[in-house]
Amino acid sequence: MVLDFTPIETQDEDGERIEAPRIEVEVADERYGKFVMEPLEPGHGVTVGNTLRRALYNSLQGTAITWVKIEGVVHEYDRIPHVKEEVLEFLLNVKGIRLRSDVNRQGKLRLEVAGEGEVCAADIMAPSDIEVVNPELHLATLDSSEARMSVEFNVQRGKGYVPAGQGAEAVLGKQQEADAPGEKVVLDLGRGNTSAINIEGRDIGQLPLDAVFTPITKVEYHVEKVRVGKRASFANFERLVVEVWTDGCLTPVQAVKEASRTLVDQFFLFSNVDRIVESASAAMARVPAIPAEKYQYPVEQLNLSSRTLNSLKRAGVNVVGEVLERTKTELLEIRNFGEKSYSELMESMVNRDLMPQEMEGYYDDVVAGDKDGDHDDEELEDDTEGLEVENTAALANGDSAPDGPEAAHAAAEPATRSE
């Protein structure tokens, strides 16, 4: 969440006006941007500049290739027939491919070429939601008319830099153990699907790549001294100059905007820390001071009825302390937890000396209010359920069944009355 912010001019102790900080975009190209912010309080230039630099490097999402699968190649030290470059050199060239995608999902790219000639990133077949930013990038050189190259690229979204072999490739099913390095293992993926992998968890022939997700190639900042007013004491203010270079997947202006939004979202939490403290204090104030062994007393040991115990467990109330944290109204809002269940719970806690002294009088009154134990409401509910069974049988025989409140009272009357 980003809030609109209007800078407010301040004054020094002598009443002289101090100009509010402002930002200017001196250069805004596709791959380079220069931003100037001034005037800043002494020391704030390094604080803002270093924080923004780290956010630009680590918080921006991007798209990158995480592994490559070349037909006929099983490891990175192999050679591709009729291709000038070795596999390692080809992989280094692939690392330079820059991709742009706004879809947060894994994807695949394919490269199918044959015959003599140069292979560039423009030859890659990509889906409509993935764009190759640098199609002119050289990948390989085929030096024979018999040359053929078939490559599969795995594309993922992420942040920052992920070394090869530490990507998000997930191995489904229960992995079996291999006896020796490089041994082939067959995994059952369910529904009749199997996959051949090695002990590192990759398919045979998958060549992992270092994934450079961040669109930022370089960030620099420096702080300069600047004078704000006429007084000599105003000469120690600062001007922050930030320079950003990107790979073309994202413009510097967009990059700075997204990184700043991330920082604002994080610092916004600290702006509400007083509300968090107040909420925590209010919650603790409702719980009287009781020993830890009483607070952690399980509700299963209160000898409650199944209905009451199940209602508490479904609501996440597992110990006595969690009961005391809730008011009566909050407890009665629990599903299938009524006045009878509430009285049963309070009575059980009082009998086991789990009630704080300052609350015993209140709960004694609550328990005493249901000493007759008749529970007319629940008896009426049981009678109503029996009536529904009788009505169902009557309808099956073609008779009319009574309905309404009178039916419930009729069902509750003794059988001798009908005679």
Residue 279 lies in a domain: no
Residue 278 lies in a domain: no
Which CATH number is 218's domain given? 3.30.1360.10
Q: How far apart are CA 139 and CA 150, in angstroms?
A: 13
Residue 281 lies in a domain: no
Q: How far apart are CA 34 and CA 26, in angstroms?
A: 5
CB under 8 Å to 6, separation ≥6 — which residues?
A: none
Report which of 315, 91, 360 is spatially closest to residue 208, judged by C-alpha positions.
91
The reply to whether 131 and 218 lie within a common domain is no
Report which of 52, 63, 62, 43 is spatially closest to residue 266, judged by C-alpha positions.
52
Whole-number pLDDT of residue 177:
37
Which CATH number is 157's domain given? 2.170.120.12
Which CATH number is 310's domain given? 1.10.150.20
CB under 8 Å to 158, separation ≥6 — which residues?
A: 61, 62, 64, 168, 211, 213
Residue 275 lies in a domain: no
Q: How far apart are CA 150 and CA 231, in angstroms?
A: 71
The reply to whether 315 and 229 lie within a common domain is no
Q: How is residue 313 annotated by DSSP?
A: H
Q: How is residue 231 annotated by DSSP?
A: S
For tokens 């070795």, the residue is: 86
The reply to whether 146 and 70 lie within a common domain is yes
Are the CB atoms for 93 and 138 separated by under 8 Å?
Answer: yes
Query: Which residue range(s) make up the domain with 395?
Result: 376-418
The reply to whether 247 and 118 lie within a common domain is no
The reply to whether 324 and 266 lie within a common domain is no
Residue type, 152: E
Give me the average pLDDT of each 10-residue run along the chain (419 residues). Answer: 44 61 91 93 92 93 93 88 92 93 88 93 92 93 91 92 66 35 40 38 80 93 83 74 94 94 87 71 60 84 92 90 86 91 91 74 50 42 42 46 45 40
Question: Which ranges in 352-404 belong to alpha helices (H)?
Answer: 357-368, 376-396
The reply to whether 121 and 55 lie within a common domain is no
The reply to whether 71 and 208 lie within a common domain is yes
Q: Residue 196 to residues 68, 87, 189, 190, 405: CA-CA distances in angstroms? A: 16, 22, 10, 14, 69
Q: Residue 253 to residues 171, 218, 309: CA-CA distances in angstroms? A: 39, 14, 58
Are the CB atoms for 71 and 97 separated by under 8 Å?
Answer: no
Tokens (6 digits) for 398: 């073609």
Residue 3 lies in a domain: no
- What is the number of alpha carbons within 13 Å of residue 231 lying toward its C-beta? 11
For tokens 């009088």, the residue is: 361
| Number of domains observed in the structure of the chain | 4
Residue 414 lies in a domain: yes
The reply to whether 36 and 100 lie within a common domain is no
Q: What share of the chain is helix, strand, coil (3-state, %, to 5)?
A: 35, 25, 40
Q: How far apart are CA 244 and CA 254, in angstroms?
A: 11
Q: How is residue 1 annotated by DSSP?
A: -
Q: Sign of the CA dihedral 325, 326, 328, 332?
A: negative
The reply to whether 79 and 190 lie within a common domain is yes
The reply to whether 107 and 198 lie within a common domain is yes
Q: How far apart are CA 242 and CA 391, in angstroms?
A: 81
Q: Residue 10 to residues 7, 13, 83, 222, 240: CA-CA distances in angstroms? A: 9, 10, 68, 25, 19
Residue 120 lies in a domain: yes
Element (H, E) at 224: strand 216-226
Residue 284 lies in a domain: no
The reply to whether 21 and 109 lie within a common domain is no
Tokens (6 digits) for 82: 């009729």
Q: Sign of the CA dihedral 347, 350, 354, 360?
A: positive
Report which of 136, 142, 167, 141 is spatially closest to residue 153, judged by C-alpha positions.
167
Are the CB atoms for 2 and 264 separated by under 8 Å?
Answer: yes
**Residue 166 zone, left/alpha/beta (φ > 0; ψ -120 to 50; rest):** alpha
The reply to whether 201 and 316 lie within a common domain is no
Cis peptide before 39 (omega within 30 of 0): yes
Tokens (6 digits) for 146: 């018999």
